[in-house]
Amino acid sequence: MAFPKFIGADSGGGSLRGMSDSVVVNVKPGSRKGPLVEVGDEGELTIYVRERAVDGKANDAVTRLLAAHLELPRSRVELISGATSRVKRFRVSR
C-alpha cells in the first residue's frame, strides 16, 4: 500500500493528543468512480466518494475512507480545515 505525504508532525510534548500529522487531500464528491483513494506519484491523495457535498455527507464519507486507507480507527482522523472546499486538511493521530 502506498502512503500519503504527511505535511508535518507535532511532537506532542506533554499534549494529550500524542503524535499527529496533517494530510491534505483533494476530494471529488458525487463521483461514480468512488469510493476510491488514489495516491499520486509524489504522495498526494485524491479521494473519490459517491456522496454529494450536501449536509456534510461527503465529508463524513471522506473521513471514513481516509481512516480505512490509513488502517486507523475513524476517531483518529479529524477534519481540521476545508469543510466546504474540495481541498481538505486532516489531522491524523497515531
Nearest Cα neighbor of 5 from 23, 32, 29, 27 is 23
This prediction has a pTM of 0.80
Question: 76: part of which helix (H) or strand (E)?
Answer: none
Query: How many other β-carbons are positioned within 10 Å of the β-carbon of residue 67?
Result: 17
Task: Kindly state the cell numbers that stand for 24.
Answer: 491534505
Which cell is 40 given? 499520486
User: Could you list the pLDDT tens digit for every one of the 94 residues in the chain?
Assistant: 455 655 554 444 333 345 779 999 999 999 999 899 999 998 899 999 999 999 999 999 999 999 999 999 999 999 999 999 999 999 999 8
